[in-house]
């Protein structure tokens, strides 16, 4: 498990950045722009930290720019390019929103950054669509990454919304949208979990499957991941319903707990994902 931590950190942080940007921009359009102020900075910090963590996975980090030479044929090269472009768009958006002479560019840049986030999520998932690794070569991989982005992004955006009660927003519309996004994220995870396990059950010539590799780490961890997801989502949903009635410091603290519970489940799940690397035919 320990060998996967750079990839776990990279994928979770960049996907959280993508999710936070997408959700915060949706809420800003719905009238919560004042409460979402600063979400772009946090998204950029998530993304930049994720990119920095990814270098720990490389044997020779200084040679990483050469990977871009294969962008026409390699999904890994496309992932590097798309992630860099996404973080670059985030940085430009942060700057333009805070420099008066550049603020007119913020709107188009926000749209471009959201598009870059979506493309990056797709490119990241395609890196793992490897035909020789049945556990990864499934639509469940894209669903996995999208669910992570939507879950973490929705929960962090909800904290921004709850922490700034002084800024008036149409709570029913904004809070209702958050709850819908949370439900969509949980449904995506509910579909992805059995779909991913189904692909992971295919055994190679040595009788080893991705499922057995994960279970070797302990079935209790897998059960804990599911329990954390259910608990965190339930807590977040309850906070969302309370948010429609009013906001208080205790509610923010409960929302933070919901985020940490879900994050713990996502970390366990991402380690399990990388543990499913079992080559077919070997």
Q: What is the DSSP string of 137-171?
A: SSHHHHHHHHHHHHHHHHHHHHHHHHH-TTS---H
The single-letter DSSP state of residue 218 is: -
- pLDDT on residue 169: 75
| Residue 206 confidence class, pLDDT cut points 50, 70, 90 | low
Residue with the bigger pLDDT between 223 and 278: it is 223
Residues 6+ away with beta carbon under 8 Å from 78: 71, 123, 126
What mean pLDDT do residues 164-172 have?
Answer: 72
List pLDDT tens digits, range 70-129: 676 688 888 989 999 999 999 999 999 999 999 999 999 999 999 999 999 999 999 998
Judge whether 263 and 191 are in contact, CB under 8 Å: no
- pLDDT on residue 26: 95
Residue with the bigger pLDDT between 253 and 91: it is 91
- pLDDT on residue 136: 87
List pLDDT tens digits, range 48-67: 999 888 877 554 444 455 45
- pLDDT on residue 170: 76
Range of the domain at 24: 2-275
What mean pLDDT do residues 40-51 have?
Answer: 95
With 60 as the cut, is the pLDDT of residue 247 above it?
Answer: no
- pLDDT on residue 69: 61
- pLDDT on residue 2: 54
Judge whether 22 and 117 are in contact, CB under 8 Å: yes
Give a yes or no: residue 282 inside a domain. no
| Residue 210 confidence class, pLDDT cut points 50, 70, 90 | low
Q: Round the average pLDDT of the chain to a whole number and report it.
A: 84
With 90 as the cut, is the pLDDT of residue 39 above it?
Answer: yes
In the chain, count H helices and then E strands.
Answer: 9, 0
Helices (H), 104-138: 106-127
Give a yes or no: residue 164 inside a domain. yes
Give a yes or no: residue 222 inside a domain. yes
| Residue 218 confidence class, pLDDT cut points 50, 70, 90 | low
- pLDDT on residue 4: 81
The domain total for the chain is 1
List pLDDT tens digits, range 22-31: 999 999 999 8
Residue 179 sits in a domain of what CATH number? 1.20.1630.10
Residue with the bigger pLDDT between 162 and 228: it is 228
What mean pLDDT do residues 168-188 have?
Answer: 87
List pLDDT tens digits, range 14-24: 999 999 999 99
Tokens at 13, concatenated: 């942080």
With 90 as the cut, is the pLDDT of residue 189 above it?
Answer: yes
Q: First vs last Cα of the chain: how many Å apart?
A: 21
- HSE at residue 52, side-chain half, CA atoms within 13 A, is 6
Give a yes or no: residue 281 inside a domain. no
Give a yes or no: residue 254 inside a domain. yes
Tell me the Ramachandran region of residue 99: left when phi exceeds 0, alpha when psi lies from -120 to 50, beta otherwise.
beta
Give a yes or no: residue 280 inside a domain. no
Q: Which of 40-49, 184-193, 194-203, 239-248 has the lowest mean pLDDT?
A: 239-248
- pLDDT on residue 282: 47
Tokens at 107, concatenated: 């709107």
């Amino acid at each position: 498990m320990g060998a996967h931590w750079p990839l776990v950190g990279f994928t979770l942080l960049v996907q959280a950045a993508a999710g936070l940007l997408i959700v915060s921009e949706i809420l800003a359009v719905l009238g919560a722009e004042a409460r979402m102020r600063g979400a772009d900075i946090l998204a950029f910090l998530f993304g930049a930290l994720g990119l920095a963590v990814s270098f720990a996975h490389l044997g020779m980090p200084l040679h990483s720019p050469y990977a871009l030479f294969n962008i026409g044929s390699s999904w890994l090269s496309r992932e590097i390019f798309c992630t860099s472009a996404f973080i670059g768009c985030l940085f430009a958006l942060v700057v333009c929103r805070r420099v008066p002479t550049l603020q007119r560019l913020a709107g188009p840049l926000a749209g471009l950054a959201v598009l870059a986030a979506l493309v990056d999520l797709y490119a990241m998932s395609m890196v793992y669509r490897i035909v020789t690794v049945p556990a990864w070569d499934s639509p469940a991989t894209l669903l996995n990454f999208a669910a992570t982005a939507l879950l973490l992004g929705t929960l962090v955006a909800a904290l921004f919304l709850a922490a700034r009660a002084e800024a008036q927003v149409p709570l029913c519309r904004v809070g209702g949208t958050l709850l819908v996004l949370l439900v969509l994220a949980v449904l995506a995870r509910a579909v992805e979990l059995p779909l991913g396990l189904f692909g992971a059950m295919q055994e190679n010539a040595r009788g080893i499957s991705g499922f057995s590799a994960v279970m070797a780490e302990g079935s209790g961890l897998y059960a804990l991941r599911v329990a954390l997801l259910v608990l965190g989502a339930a807590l977040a949903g309850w906070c969302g319903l309370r948010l429609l009635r009013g906001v208080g410091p205790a509610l923010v603290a409960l929302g933070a707990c919901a985020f940490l519970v879900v994050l713990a489940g996502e970390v366990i799940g991402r380690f399990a994902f990388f543990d499913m690397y079992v080559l077919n035919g070997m």
